[in-house]
Amino acid sequence: MRPERIELRLVRMPLRRPFRTSFGSQDVKEAILVRAQAGGIEGWGECAAGRRPLYSGEWNAGAWIVLRDELAPAALRGEPSPVKGHPMAATALEVALLDLRLRAEGVSLASHLGAVRDTVACGASLGIEDDPDELLAEAALFLERGYHRVKLKIEPGNDLEAVRAVRTAFPDAPLSVDANAAYRPADAEHLAELDAFGLEYVEQPLPADHLLGHADLAERIGTPICLDETLTSAAATAEAIRLEACSIVNLKVGRVGGIEESVRIHDLVREAGVDLWCGGMLETGIGRAVNVALAAMPGMTLPGDTSASDRYFAEDITEPFMVTADGMMRVPEGPGIGVTPIPALLERATVERTEVGP
């Protein structure tokens, strides 16, 4: 479906608490939203990039230009994307166009994806804390709320003691850790000390391009390895599985360049019998809706990073996503992604806006 108009918006939302990972601390979430219109219908998509290129090489100022000057004009002309790379920017546009089409057809994204559940199990991702009591309090909060897994961000110097404290306080809780690529192959012996804590997995211990490094590490530690940043496509995922560089896959639609690539990854991971879950990038309700639909697919075997909107934001720009007492979240049932920005909340969050010309 060829769009008649495309609008870009940059939104900025304060985080309830600073979120610290091995690549930095964020106290505000900034995202580009794409709005595509045709025949009186509109579709929305969200770019997962952050303010700075810290998680991956994409960042909002760059994504804005590639959307404005390349991706959106090509879509308005009815042409395929001419662009290499920029998967998060491309995903924002792809989702907006798909949302538009599915709304016109009256089909939900979840049913388009072949989703098999109407609720999904939620997990929480906890940032690095200087005060160990803060980390324990955060872990307690989410476990009490029924979240099905708690993931602790780690980095060299903020790892074993933090994990030990949480494991001691919650001997049976499903726990994992995420290093966001902060370790090196020489840290294998150190990472093997995580084996004592019965973690579900260690996520992305080494830099993204260390495919063989992860395969070697997997032979040297007992904790299963889950890959995130490394898995940029279906091809990369198939190679990681074949090399046994990971035994668990984190799927993020923006990291892999869209819904179509996500479905390919879902299908090949499921076929391989490897565990799969849906990651998150602190999305607004627009991106969160996509994650929840993906998390409802049959190959998703572990709880995702799909937390309630209020885990990150005092106020979302859509109706907030809530988690029930048993740690579950409803999959939107309406057409397309099933949510739209609430105009007053969208206006309040918008810091920049542009209408793209063909």
Catalytic center residues:
153, 252
Which tokens hold the place of 171?
């001997």
- The 10 Å CB-count burial string (b at 16+, else e) for 333-351 is eebbbbbbbeeebbeebee
User: Shortest approach of ligand NPQ to residue 127 CB, angstroms?
Assistant: 8
**Residue 284 binds which of ligand NPQ, Mg ion, none (CB < 5-8 A, kind-dependent):** none
Among 254, 279, 303, 304, binds ligand NPQ (CB under 6 A): 279
CB count within 10 Å of CB 18 equals 12
Which residue shows structure tokens 């309830």? 16
**Residue 26 binds which of Mg ion, ligand NPQ, none (CB < 5-8 A, kind-dependent):** ligand NPQ
Of 212-220, 279-287, 329-337, 350-358, which part binds ligand NPQ (CB under 6 A)? 279-287
**Sign of torsion, CA 213 218 219 222?**
positive
Measured distance between the N- and C-terminal CA atoms of the chain, rounded to whole angstroms:
15
Of 18-26, 80-88, 213-221, 317-325, which part binds ligand NPQ (CB under 6 A)? 18-26
User: Shortest approach of ligand NPQ to residue 305 CB, angstroms?
Assistant: 4
Among 138, 228, 261, 275, binds ligand NPQ (CB under 6 A): 228
How is 84-142 classified by DSSP, letter by letter?
-S-HHHHHHHHHHHHHHHHHHHT-BHHHHTT---SEEEB-EEE---SSHHHHHHHHHHH
Of 169-177, 186-194, 237-245, 275-283, which part binds ligand NPQ (CB under 6 A)? 275-283
- By CB under 6 A, tell whether 55 contacts ligand NPQ: yes
Of 19-27, 130-138, 206-214, 332-340, which part binds ligand NPQ (CB under 6 A)? 19-27
Binding track over 210-249 against Mg ion, x by CB under 5 A = ------------------x---------------------
Among 43, 50, 258, 338, binds ligand NPQ (CB under 6 A): 50
Name the pairing type of β-strands 5-21 and 350-356: antiparallel
State which residue, 124 or 328, has the beta carbon closest to ligand NPQ: 124
199: phi then psi, degrees, rounded to nearest 5: -80, 150
- By CB under 6 A, tell whether 280 contacts ligand NPQ: yes
Angle at 322 between CA 353 and CA 21, to 5 degrees: 65
Of 264, 226, 291, nearest to 48 by C-alpha is 291
Neighbouring C-alpha atoms within 13 Å toward the C-beta of 158: 21
CB count within 10 Å of CB 357 equals 10
- By CB under 6 A, tell whether 58 contacts ligand NPQ: no
The residues of the shown chain that bind Mg ion, judged by CB under 5 A, are 178, 203, 228
The residues of the shown chain that bind ligand NPQ, judged by CB under 6 A, are 19, 21, 26, 29, 50, 55, 125, 178, 180, 228, 279-282, 305
